[in-house]
Amino acid sequence: MSSNSVAAAIAPLPSWNEGATRDAILDFVQRVTTEGSPDYVPPSERIATFDNDGTLWCEQPNFVQGFFLLDRVKTIAAAQPELAAQQPFKAVLENDKTTLATFGKQELVTLVFATHTGMAIEEFRAIAQSWFDSAMHPRFQRLFRECVYQSQRELLEYLRSNGFKTFIVTGGGNGVVRTVAESIYGIPPEQVIGSSGKTKLEWQDGKPVLVKQPELNSFDDRAEKVVNIELHIGRRPLLAFGNSDGDLAMLQYTAAGTGARLALLLHHDDAEREYAYDRDFHLSPLREALEEVPKLNGGHIVSMKRDFKQVFP
Amino acid sequence: MSSNSVAAAIAPLPSWNEGATRDAILDFVQRVTTEGSPDYVPPSERIATFDNDGTLWCEQPNFVQGFFLLDRVKTIAAAQPELAAQQPFKAVLENDKTTLATFGKQELVTLVFATHTGMAIEEFRAIAQSWFDSAMHPRFQRLFRECVYQSQRELLEYLRSNGFKTFIVTGGGNGVVRTVAESIYGIPPEQVIGSSGKTKLEWQDGKPVLVKQPELNSFDDRAEKVVNIELHIGRRPLLAFGNSDGDLAMLQYTAAGTGARLALLLHHDDAEREYAYDRDFHLSPLREALEEVPKLNGGHIVSMKRDFKQVFP
């Protein structure tokens, strides 16, 4: 047991306020870890899956990867000035909101492929790592990678100290999230399941090099999260935590297993300390999830305002 | 440290004969685990990947999954007698070797889809589990799941006791291999990367059910093994172990990293205790691998006859 684990065992979840949500978490963990309990689950089957954007770190005023994409467009346009005259790059570089509002999936894909592919995976990783070392959140004036929720970091550590294996299941790109997940969440790359592009093994100067291709492999959202949980983990989670309709299928699938389950939805209702957004937030709506999660076995709405004693570390 | 780990630390690899291969393994592990050594690697980056068929368990006279497929064809033909008159089922059921010899990928795909898909993943898992509880190897008269190499089980445990995370990267189906990998190798489902079919989330009686589809997702062989290592693990292995040309790309990719590496190829040269086969074995040829592996950084041919003191447990 690490010193962190000892601290967690003595006073679990210190950044969570006392109340029904914290009680539900503590009760669930006690039930599945107490030998002889009807809900006991052996450690090897204690799987917990967490969405990332809006669940583990701040997703406002835009996804972290959206800011990364914007900076990448600026970087490649500096090297290839002709891009500044072409769409969709032009609108991004000029912050032309009228034109940006007309963009759909096609333009986004063009931007992602132009900025995320055509290089060795190691080169892309170094770019992402370097970006995280300096990129700041516009409102909080702290690094994006420090805009993680302290309560969630404690929950991840508390679960691990109780034998859980913690996974991220995110719509974000696995190449981006994996560069920081171990240092900020204690989650190693092999436990990060994200959206992904195809890669191809090529030979360069007599060496095998894995090159990122401009072709989508998986967009890890909604039902695809469940498909990828099966592909990568091969077991149904006992606990899942999300914050939007994109996570609802994962929460429903988790809750539909036998025995004790926990399906948590974080509701951002704290404009003062972070953001308040609801059903119709365009980046991650929660029209269905707010209604459906409370009906699930072990389903709970977590209120940031009520349940998080502390938001950021 | 488990009692197994203590035993491994006292007398590592007791089922390996003393000699150059065992020395190369012990030397490699010492170099990457000794702090201050120029080849030191922190525990979180100690990734080891193993092929399964012919590397961890016996693949002769046919792949274990080939025997499983045959039994599955018999089972579904008993429930649907009309299949007995249709190809490719007819030839399989009658063991018609002349016709079987004409079969290619199309017939194999038809057989796999008919026997492995169209059901919930839990149902398929139960079928595979039940099969492994009774299916016997025709020559050794022991369960297939007991036809694992004792030396390799010790190597897996020795690596784990030295901070390595061990993965299987197999051409076999992940749904089949995952049902037994934890009990026979100590490798949990989320560390088994195999060939896979698509799955689809469907709603049945108000519950989300993941159903196996008759569509290939990934055939995990050759360069695709490297692609899947990146997709599932996101790091280059330090050590890889295979036994055929299907594993060569994984061995080359592993060896091409910086620092100390180990790329091992098991050569089946022991007809008395197991099988002897070589360059042209139709199921898993090793035309290139026998020549290329010795040239790699940390590349070694492992001889079953010379290096394995004991073959099966």
The CATH number for B182's domain is 3.40.50.1000
B256 touches chain A (CB under 8 A): yes
A174 touches chain B (CB under 8 A): yes
Q: Is residue A149 part of a domain?
A: yes
Q: Is residue B108 part of a domain?
A: no
| Digit-coded pLDDT (tens) for B117-133 | 999 999 999 999 999 99
3-state secondary structure of B193: strand
Is A165:B182 a contact under the CB 8 Å cutoff?
Answer: no
In A, which residues are within 8 Å of B190 by CB distance? 47, 165, 167, 190-191, 232-235
Would you state the pLDDT for residue A195? 97
Q: What average pLDDT is seen over chain B?
A: 94
Q: Is residue B128 part of a domain?
A: no
Mean pLDDT confidence for B161-166: 98
A190 touches chain B (CB under 8 A): yes
Q: Is residue A37 part of a domain?
A: yes
Would you state the pLDDT for residue A78? 94
Is B92:B68 a contact under the CB 8 Å cutoff?
Answer: no
Q: Is residue A85 part of a domain?
A: no
CA angle A15, A21, A26 (to 5 degrees): 80
| Digit-coded pLDDT (tens) for B49-71 | 999 999 999 999 999 999 999 99
Q: Is the pLDDT of residue B3 over 80?
A: no
Cβ-proximal residues to B195 (8 Å cutoff; 6+ apart), any chain? B170, B171, B172, B173, B174, B216, B218, B219, B220, B221
Q: Which residue, chain included where needed, has tokens 């064809």?
A: B73
Report residue A252: phi and psi, to 5°: -65, -45
Q: Is residue A13 part of a domain?
A: yes
Q: Which domain holds residue A161?
A: 3-60+144-196+218-307
Of B190, B249, B252, the CB nearest to A233: B190
Would you state the pLDDT for residue A1? 42
Distance from CA of A78 to the nearest CA of B (A): 30
Report residue B92: phi and psi, to 5°: -65, -45
A234 touches chain B (CB under 8 A): yes
Of B178, B226, B235, the CB nearest to A201: B226
Q: Is residue A233 part of a domain?
A: yes
- From A207, which residue of chain B is nearest by alpha-carbon distance? B256
Tell me if A210 and B253 make a contact (CB, 8 A cut-off). Answer: yes
Q: Which residues partner with B120 through β-bridges?
A: B211
B201 touches chain A (CB under 8 A): yes
Alpha carbon distances (Å) from B80 to A77, B75, B86? 62, 9, 11
For testing contact with chain A, the best of B190, B198, B200 (most A CBs within 10 A): B190
Distance from CA of A288 to the nearest CA of B (A): 16
Mean pLDDT is lowest, of A169-183, B86-100, B153-167, for B86-100
Is A176:A187 a contact under the CB 8 Å cutoff?
Answer: no
Q: Is the pLDDT of residue B1 over 80?
A: no
CA angle B125, B127, B128 (to 5 degrees): 65
Distance from CA of A299 to the nearest CA of B (A): 15
Q: Is residue A96 part of a domain?
A: no
Tell me if B121 and A190 make a contact (CB, 8 A cut-off). Answer: no
The pLDDT profile of chain A, 313 residues, written as one tens digit per residue, is 444 555 445 679 999 999 999 999 999 999 999 999 999 999 999 999 999 999 999 999 999 999 999 999 999 999 999 999 999 999 999 999 899 889 888 999 999 999 999 999 999 999 999 999 999 999 999 999 999 999 999 999 999 999 999 999 999 999 999 999 999 999 999 999 999 999 999 999 999 999 999 999 999 999 999 999 999 999 999 999 999 999 999 999 999 999 999 999 999 999 999 999 987 787 788 999 999 999 999 999 999 999 999 999 9
Give Rg (Cα) of chain B: 20
Number of domains, chain B? 1
Tell me if A208 and B249 make a contact (CB, 8 A cut-off). Answer: yes
Of A178, A192, A208, the CB nearest to B253: A208
